[in-house]
């Protein structure tokens, strides 16, 4: 009996194939302004550890990524969004300032920690103001685990990132955007009211019917316009008819009294 057990243990050890364990990939980043001239034009750009675009994050499926980000921009807040990463169980690491986290203040350090659960090529970028256009972005490359074959073959792998690039500073770009009418689109559900324009410092009130079930986020991807800076939303649900706008809310131009 003892010999049979020993033989069974020996046979089991022969067929055992070790499975690669998930790893922890730890990065420490310092974000600051530096002069760079990628197209022979010298200008201030935002760098990560002296690089713009920032360093690539290399990992395998199932790994945990930890990135400690120190903001050394002096006069600007900071947040980094990990585009394409699902953040299952770690929504606070999504990097959308004003929504899932407070921005990283100048001089502070914030630790992002999340798991990469799918192989592929992804992107990280700044999610505060126009910092992405200033050079704060980079790639995330997640390979399949050891011993797993990819579904296609290739000779070599190269990552190419296309991004806006201006000789003017992001402050000049933001000033230019603020000097033209602001336009807001609502999508195909309300084509007759799909877009509105405002002159600088103008404002208005909107009322619309929520006829597409789901959880929706209303925000603007214009410089410093994420919920704060005077923008607000009121949603009504569970009623058959939308009530009248409060008399205290004043419209602008044709928007007053529009259903």
* pLDDT tens-digit series, residues 178-194: 776 655 544 444 444 44
The predicted model scores a pTM of 0.64
Rounded CA gap, 54 and 45, in Å? 11
* pLDDT tens-digit series, residues 57-111: 999 999 999 999 999 998 999 999 999 999 998 988 999 888 888 899 999 999 9
- CATH number for the domain formed by residue range(s) 24-171: 2.60.40.420
| Cβ contact 196:184 at 8 Å | yes
Collapsed DSSP state (helix, strand, coil) of residue 178? helix
Q: Domain-by-domain residue ranges, the chain?
A: 24-171, 181-259
Rounded CA gap, 87 and 113, in Å? 9
The answer on pLDDT for 219 being more than 80 is no
Tell which residue, 206, 209, 216, has the closest CA to residue 190: 209
Poorest-pLDDT segment among 21-30, 210-219, 222-231: 222-231
pLDDT-derived band at 200 (thresholds 50, 70, 90) equals low
* pLDDT tens-digit series, residues 113-150: 999 999 999 999 999 888 888 999 999 999 999 888 88
Phi then psi for residue 110, to 5 deg, are -125, 140
């Amino acid at each position: 009996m003892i010999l049979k057990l020993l033989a069974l243990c020996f046979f089991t050890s022969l067929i055992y194939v070790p499975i690669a364990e998930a790893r922890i990939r730890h990065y420490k980043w310092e974000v600051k302004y530096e002069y760079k001239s990628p197209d022979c034009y010298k200008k201030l750009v935002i760098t990560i550890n002296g690089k713009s675009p920032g360093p690539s994050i290399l990992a395998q499926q199932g790994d945990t990524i930890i990135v400690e980000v120190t903001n050394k921009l002096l006069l600007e807040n900071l947040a980094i969004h990990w585009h394409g990463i699902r953040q299952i169980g770690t929504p606070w690491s999504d990097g959308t300032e004003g929504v899932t986290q407070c921005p990283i203040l100048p001089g502070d350090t914030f630790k992002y920690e999340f798991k990469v659960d799918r192989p592929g090529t992804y992107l990280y970028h700044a999610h505060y103001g126009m910092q992405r256009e200033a050079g704060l972005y980079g790639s995330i490359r997640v390979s399949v685990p050891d011993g797993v074959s990819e579904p296609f073959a290739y000779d070599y792998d190269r990552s190419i990132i296309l991004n806006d690039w201006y000789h003017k500073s992001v402050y000049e770009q933001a000033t230019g955007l603020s000097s033209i009418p602001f336009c807001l689109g609502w999508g195909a559900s309300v084509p007759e009211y799909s877009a509105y324009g405002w002159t600088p410092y103008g404002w208005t009130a909107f009322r619309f019917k929520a006829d597409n079930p789901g959880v929706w986020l209303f925000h603007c991807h214009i410089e410093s316009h994420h919920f704060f800076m005077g923008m607000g939303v009121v949603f009504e649900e569970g009623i058959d008819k939308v009530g009248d706008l409060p008399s205290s809310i004043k419209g602008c131009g044709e928007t007053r009294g529009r259903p």
